Structure formats: structure tokens, C-alpha cells
Amino acid sequence: METIKLYQQDVYMKECTAKVISVESDLVLLDRTVFFPVGGGQSCDLGTVAGYEVTEVFEEGDKVYHRIREPFQLEAGQQAECSIDWARRFDNMQRHCGEHILSGIFFREFGGVNRGFHMGDDYMTIDISLEEDPSITEITWEMAKHAELCTNEVIWSNAPVTVRRFKTREEAEKMPLRKKLAIDEEISIVCVGDINNAADCVACCGTHPSTAGQVGLVKLYKVEKNKGMFRIYFEAGKRALLDYDKKHDLLTVLGNRYSASADDLLEKMDARKEKDKAIKNELTVLRQSVIESRVSDIRKDLKAADGEVLIYEFGDMKTDDLLNIGRPVMQEVKKLLLIISTNDNTLLLFSDGTVNCGKLVKENASIYNGKGGGNATSARAIFPKREGLDTYIQLLINHLR
């Protein structure tokens, strides 16, 4: 028994009463349905059948199946009230129709044929193949922006969107199609605008609003080369507006942060970047000066240490900077030089190799939950708590005494 597809008769129908034909596991077959099944690059409608949640709708031959979330109680022969998620349906209608118009414009303006279409959660894409006009070999961002404007002009004109159904290919091919047919019978042709000067005319089984104005807006995001074609990233309808809102809010935050308007924001960001670069360079010079000063102080202490273990603590430098303090003097260390980074409980060990730093860490640090490694002249150990670090240092002092 063929399912009567009410969505083909009236795309704005949100509810209906249907008879249950069969129930097999979680699949329900109805004699009629307002639910559009997945197809034509468009996701299926969701909603409820007899109050039970519909999780998937698909078509097999002339039958439309509804997958119902279990548990549910439906029996063949009973009447069931069906209701679709209208927000989801209209979202799909806006997006799908926006794709039609944009694809038609790329064909009209540049001879670009849509060879791929994807409706994702965050954006839509079409893959345009430049095969109708040999003089055009690429789609630049300027060309894409022109197509975007032309697309929105069609939307603003509120051109009619009609769906014509044909039994055979011969009948359908009398329409001004932008793309060759891939099927031979039961063909639906969607036309945007007057048939004699259509913005788009192509075979499609999806759902679309009755006028282009209901699409609201089409916004392009990006153009990139893809497998010999050009992939266009874009969005349409309410989603395009919400994306604009998000980006406008971000622009407002950045404008407030840089005390700038949209007109001079980039200029002020560049100026801030240059200022930050200058400050970074100054800090590098100052850090190097501090490193050299501390190296000089440690050298003096080493000369007077007479083989004692020297310990230093620093909380104002990164570990890499502390390494640059210890390495220049390690050949002058008679026994052991220890530098502590108080920021992260890291201990750096340096020696002239007489005392094997790496061995000290490997054999003893783990006793106090320390982790690390190194070689004979330098090593590091990191401790989760300061108490473990201090106890480990005392062990080293006692061991080397």
C-alpha cells in the first residue's frame, strides 16, 4: 500500500490523522503522513505519532516508515494523531530553498554546476564545477560575493517557489533545468521565479517555502578549492541571522576592548600588536639582564663555597630561564648546585659531572613522589608538594656531606 505523502500536497501542513498499517519492531507504517523522509540532501522531519517520539523517517519504494522511540503501544488499524516539529521543518525549508537559489545563481552567472550539496549542523556547502563556460576557471571571493548579492536580490523580490510533478523524463525536460535529470519517472521540479526567467529550476524532492522571501537571508562564509571544484560554505534563513548576531556580538566585544568602531578596529588591533611586540622585546632584554646578574652572583658564591651544596630559590622566572642560569656555571660547581622554582615545585640540579645529577634524580626522587630525569651534569625533578621537595633536598645534602 502506497503512503499518501501529505507534505507533497501542502508543505505547511503540520498535523494529520493517519491509520496505522503495520508495526514491526520500532518501525510504524501509516496510510498517510505529514513527515518528510530523509532525502535530497535534507534531513527528515521529527515529531510525534500518537504522542510517541519519532526519531527517524525514511522511504522505501512508495512507503514511508516512521521509527518510534520505544517503548510505545501502537497497533495496526488504529488511528493516530501525527504532528511534526514545525521549527525543524521550516528551518530545513529555508536552508534548502536558499541552496537552490544560490546554486541557480552560480549557474546563471558563471556556468557553475552544483555537483555536491551538504546540510550540516553549523553550515551548508555546495561543490561548484566550472564546466559550462571555459573562460571561467576559478571562483574568487569577489565572484562569490557577487553571487551572494544576486541570491539575496532574488529573496528580496519574494519570487514564487513552485513545485511541478511529472510522470516521465520527457515531460520534465521541457522545463528550463540547470542540471540534467538523474531519474526517469515521478519527477518533482522546483522552480524559483517565473518559468521563463527562473532564478533556479531543478529536480528536487525536498521541502521548500512557497516564496523566496521566506528564506530571509543567505550568507556566504568561505570559498575553497576541493577536488577540482570550488566548495562554497554558507548558511540561510534564521541560522544565517543567528550567526550574524553571534559575530556582531563578538565584534562589539572586540570594539569595546580596543575602544574602536568596526571601521578602525583592525587598525587599532595592529597598533596594539606592535605595542605588545615592543613590550615583549623589552621584557626579553630585562630577563636576559636578570639572568646575567644572577649568573654573576652564583659564580661569586661558587668561588667562596669551598665544595658546599649551594641552594637558590626563584619565583619570578620560568624553568627555562632558570636552566639558563645554571648551565653557564655548571662546570664550576665543585659538588652540587640546586635551583628551586617555587612556582611549580621544580628542582634543577647542576654539577661538573663529578656528582651524577641524573642518577640522583632517578634513584631517589620517586621516594618523595618526584618525577624527572637528566644526565650527569644537569637534571630536574618535579614534586607535587613542597614538603617532598624539601625532604629530597635534605637527603641530597646528607648524602653528599
Which CATH number applies to 4-84: 2.40.30.130, 1.10.3720.10, 3.50.50.60, 2.60.40.10? Answer: 2.40.30.130
Say which residues have a Cβ less than 8 Å from residue 173's Cβ, sequence separation at least 6: 181
d(CA 314, CA 337): 14
Q: List pLDDT tens digits, range 81-93.
A: 999 999 999 999 9
Percent of the chain whose pLDDT exceeds 70:
100
**What is the predicted pLDDT for the residue at 38?**
93
Here the cell at position 394 is 635534605
Please determine, for residue 74, whether its predicted confidence score (pLDDT) is greater than 80.
yes
**Alpha carbon distances (Å) from 255 to 247, 248, 251, 268:** 12, 10, 6, 9
Residues 39-63, mean pLDDT to the nearest whole number: 93
**What is the predicted pLDDT for the residue at 183?**
81
What CATH number labels 282-400?
Answer: 3.10.310.40
**What is the predicted pLDDT for the residue at 215?**
98
Q: How confident is the model at residue 182 (pLDDT cuts 50, 70, 90)?
A: confident
Residues 183-202, mean pLDDT to the nearest whole number: 90
Degrees to nearest 5, angle at CA 144 with 139 and 147: 120
**What is the predicted pLDDT for the residue at 180?**
87
* Residue-by-residue DSSP string for 272-340: HHHHHHHHHHHHHHHHHHHHHHHHHHHHHHHHHHTTPPEEEEESSS-HHHHHHHHGGGGGG-SS-EEEE
**What is the predicted pLDDT for the residue at 218?**
98
Residue pair 50/19 in contact by the 8 Å Cβ criterion: no
CA atoms within 13 A of residue 316's CA, in its CB half-sphere: 7
**Alpha carbon distances (Å) from 110 to 129, 228, 342, 348:** 10, 16, 65, 66
**What is the predicted pLDDT for the residue at 401?**
74
**Three-class SS of residue 109?**
helix
d(CA 192, CA 198): 6
d(CA 89, CA 108): 28
Q: Where are the domains of the chain?
A: 4-84, 90-255, 282-400
**What is the predicted pLDDT for the residue at 210?**
97
Here the cell at position 239 is 541560522
Q: Alpha-carbon torsion 230, 236, 242, 248, what sign?
A: positive
Residues 101-128, mean pLDDT to the nearest whole number: 95
**What is the predicted pLDDT for the residue at 334?**
86
Please determine, for residue 1, whether its predicted confidence score (pLDDT) is greater than 90.
no
Give the CATH fold of the 90-255 domain: Threonyl-tRNA Synthetase; Chain A, domain 2 (3.30.980)
Q: List pLDDT tens digits, range 244-277.
A: 999 999 999 999 999 999 999 999 999 999 999 9
Q: List pLDDT tens digits, range 129-179.
A: 998 888 999 999 999 999 999 999 999 999 999 999 998 889 999 999 988
**What is the predicted pLDDT for the residue at 276?**
96
User: DSSP alpha helices (H): ranges in 157-205?
Assistant: 169-172
**What is the predicted pLDDT for the residue at 307?**
75
Q: List pLDDT tens digits, range 343-353.
A: 999 999 999 99
Average pLDDT over the chain, rounded to whole?
A: 94
On whether the pTM is more than 0.85, the answer is no
**What is the predicted pLDDT for the residue at 308?**
86
Residue pair 81/17 in contact by the 8 Å Cβ criterion: yes
DSSP code of residue 211: B
**What is the predicted pLDDT for the residue at 347?**
97
Q: List pLDDT tens digits, range 286-322.
A: 999 999 999 999 999 999 887 789 999 999 999 999 9
**What is the predicted pLDDT for the residue at 41?**
81
d(CA 106, CA 174): 22
d(CA 91, CA 104): 20
**Same-fold call for 90-255 versus 282-400:** no
Say which residues have a Cβ less than 8 Å from residue 208's Cβ, sequence separation at least 6: 11, 93, 96, 97, 100, 161, 163, 190
**Alpha carbon distances (Å) from 124 to 33, 228, 401:** 27, 19, 72
**What is the predicted pLDDT for the residue at 105?**
97
